[in-house]
Amino acid sequence: MPGTLQESVSVWKDDMQLKLVPGNSAGTVTAYYLSSKGSTWDEIDFEFLGNLSGDPYILHTNVFSQGKGNREQQFYLWFDPTADFHTYSILWNPQRIIFSVDGTPIREFKNLESMGVPFPKNQAMRIYSSLWNADDWATRGGLVKTDWSQAPFTASYRNFNANACVWSNGVSSCGTNSSPSTSRTNSWLSEELDSTSQEKLQWVRKNYMIYNYCTDAKRFPQGFPPECKLS
């Protein structure tokens, strides 16, 4: 389903149910992401790296602000994502970005602008989805190539659901952040992780996280990015 919803929005809470390419999906990447346009774009990514039958997919996440990414975190999933539909969600509000799987938070990227870390906030994004050949890097770092005899590769999507502030002519459909009516009707605009969710996040990080840029010292010989010191 390559496609684009046609509205530009500034903050989101959305859910998508996905059932990933089954069988030998090595080399394929199924993506579901938010992105703005231009050379200093913002982007929030869910990417699913396929694998040989029976071997685990990798869920790859990244956050770009003002054209700069390099904030990868990768996870295995605690279920077979090809057997059934599961819900993948992005919460993007002015304070934080939260990635969730079936309601379990797997990653939080906080707004640390006060420490000089750019946060996606000033550019409207659209939602995109795609399925592409990435056999130069996706599966076991590019060792396993796409088996084209398995084509066509199919991922399924359903029940897309979004809350968003839509901009038109410089005015947001959510009004200003401070108005009381906004906080009542759009509670996601200030949503944060409660202690139960924090525990779930820690459970995922402990048991399923397989890569975190914040612990990859080889990549940052000059020192880790500032947000890494705080999480």
Ligand X SMILES: *[C@@H]1O[C@H](CO)[C@@H](O)[C@H](O)[C@H]1NC(C)=O
Using the minimum distance from each CB to ligand X, give the nearer residue, 94 or 142.
142
Q: Does 49 contact ligand X by CB under 6 A?
A: yes
Residue nearest to ligand X (CB): 55
**Chain mean position to CA 23:** 24
Residue from 58, 77, 131, 165 in contact with ligand X (CB under 6 A): 58
Look up residue 123 and give its DSSP letter: S
Residue type, 60: H
Residue from 56, 69, 175, 225 in contact with ligand X (CB under 6 A): 56
Residue from 25, 36, 51, 62 in contact with ligand X (CB under 6 A): 51
Rounded least distance, CB 49 to ligand X, Å: 4
Q: What whole-number distance in Å separates Cα of residue 127 and Cα of residue 114? A: 28
Catalytic residue, from 7, 43, 108, 227: name it: 43
Catalytic residue, from 7, 47, 113, 192: name it: 47
Q: Does 147 contact ligand X by CB under 6 A?
A: no
- Quick one: which segment of 36-44, 53-61, 92-100, 191-199 binds ligand X (CB under 6 A)? 53-61
Q: What is the DSSP string of 193-212?
A: --HHHHHHHHHHHHHTEEEE
Residue from 7, 15, 55, 147 in contact with ligand X (CB under 6 A): 55
From first CA to last CA, the distance across the chain in angstroms is 35
Q: Interaction with ligand X in 121-140: which residues (CB under 6 A)?
A: 138-140
* Catalytic residue flag (residue 43): yes
Using the minimum distance from each CB to ligand X, give the nearer residue, 54 or 170.
54
Identify whether the C-beta of residue 96 lies closer than 8 Å to the C-beta of residue 110.
yes
Angle formed at CA 126 by CA 122 and CA 127, multiple of 5 degrees = 135
Using the minimum distance from each CB to ligand X, give the nearer residue, 30 or 51.
51
Helix (H) / strand (E) element for 107: namely strand 104-110
Q: Count the residues of the shown chain that bind ligand X, applying the rule CB under 6 A.
A: 8
**CA trace torsion 214, 112, 221, 136 (10° rounding):** 60
Rounded least distance, CB 88 to ligand X, Å: 16
Q: What whole-number distance in Å separates Cα of residue 25 and Cα of residue 20? A: 9
* Catalytic residue flag (residue 191): no
Q: Does 15 contact ligand X by CB under 6 A?
A: no
**Chain mean position to CA 220:** 23
Any bridge partners for residue 191, and if so which? none
Binding site for ligand X (CB under 6 A): 49, 51, 55-56, 58, 138-140
Kindly list the catalytic residues.
43, 47
